[in-house]
Amino acid sequence: MQPPTAIVLAAGEGRRLRPLTKYRPKPMLPVATKPILERVFDQLIGVGITDIVVVVGYRRNRVQSYFGSTYGEASLTYVTQEKQLGTGHALAVAESEVDGTVLVLNGDQIADETLLHDVISAHDASATATLGLLRKSSIDEYGGVILEDGVVSDIVEDPQDDREYLLNAGVYAFEPDVFDMLYNGAPRIGERLLIDAIMELSGAGHEIRGVVSDGFWVDATYPWDLLEVSFELFDGGLVDGGHAIDASTEPNIHETAVLREPVIVDGDCEIGPGAVVGPYACIGENTIIESNAVVKRSVLDSDTRVNANATVIDCVTGVGVQIGAGSSIPGGPGDVRVGNRVFEDEPLGALLADRVCDRGGVHYLSGSIVGPESVIYTGSVVRGTIAEGTEVQY
């Protein structure tokens, strides 16, 4: 059977991941050193898909300039969602680029080949839609699905009853009928949601199927999730081996440095004498880790510099961050403010957004978030959320 065209929804910002999404959309944030969207494409190519339509919007130039018109064996076609008006609207803007059955998935969630294959194999034209479902102990905000004899009977966003719900993984196979419902249905609070269109199709007599998969699926909703997702990629086998060191970096690792698996280090990095990296360390390209520094359970984006004797645990950095000599990020758990909510005891030592400059001897309390372009002067103690462009000296 000819593989379907894939539509990847990658137009959103990812507001709950601010300030990392100040300059790029959530699908371009790194997990285990690769952008989330790149790992999505890898899995699609793995199940034989060669035509991918990418719906872009917020900071779309970051996606298009990174990938261009092809990725691996797949051709990429971009369509723009000018305003983020919901997942249903995002799918609707791609209609002109597809014909026949489509596989739809989110560009900010990673579904492995097993899950994608299960949805493609379970779908045929007698059903208007087939949903990929997972057995999870907590479905949180992803929506719960009731499946009866392979047919979806109900979808509930925040279920409060004791029925046995399956998690909606956001992987769908659709027939063209779905587009009619996307245009004809009523929006909810200014947005047209894909899940509403699916339930309207069901109410209109269309068959909506579900397939329960044992595949791997992860999503990064909050800053600390970037750590957890990267670690799950190691444990789930989506990162080759537990000791993935780019060939251009190997000559730059001092003989007295210690790398503890699992660890992944991108190209053109340097690791100095006595440095300890890992376990569960993801080091982006052009990163320098100086002598006797310790980096573990962390995701460091490209062009980061960890100066001598610094300790970096449970940390996420943006691009071009400097962590000064002797600075200490001792790790989580900590209380983290995201918007107007405070999440208690989350596994985040600190998040340092793009081009934060730490001058050394700085101590970070667990759960600290530092906005882009901020400067932290020597001897300061960082706590809570620091706004973009702030100078911290205390």
Q: Give yes or no for a contact between 286 and 305, defined as CB atoms under 8 angstroms apart.
A: no
For residue 1, what pLDDT is reported?
Answer: 59
Cα(331)–Cα(339) distance, rounded to whole angstroms? 22
Does the pTM of the predicted model rise above 0.85? Answer: yes
Closest-CA residue to 267 (of 256, 253, 277):
253
Question: What is the separation of C-alpha 55 from the centre of its chain, rounded to a whole number of angstroms?
Answer: 16
> Could you tell me the CA-to-CA distances from 320 to 80, 299, 331 in Å, in that order?
29, 13, 21
The type of residue at 81 is: Q
Parts of the chain with a pLDDT under 70: 1, 140-141, 183-190, 237-243
pLDDT 10s digits, 97-122? 888 899 999 999 999 999 999 999 99
For residue 63, what pLDDT is reported?
Answer: 95
For residue 189, what pLDDT is reported?
Answer: 61
What are the beta bridge partners of residue 51? 75
Under CATH, what is the fold of the domain 5-219?
Spore Coat Polysaccharide Biosynthesis Protein SpsA; Chain A (3.90.550)
For strand 281-283 and strand 298-300, is the pairing parallel, antiparallel, or unpaired?
parallel
Domain boundaries, the chain: 5-219, 241-392
What are the beta bridge partners of residue 55? 9, 79
H-type alpha helices, 22-136:
36-46, 60-67, 87-92, 113-122
Under CATH, what is the fold of the domain 241-392?
UDP N-Acetylglucosamine Acyltransferase; domain 1 (2.160.10)
Q: With left for phi above 0 and alpha for psi between -120 and 50, is residue 336 left, alpha or beta?
A: beta
Q: Give yes or no for a contact between 339 and 223, defined as CB atoms under 8 angstroms apart.
A: no
**In residues, how long is the chain?**
394
For residue 209, what pLDDT is reported?
Answer: 92
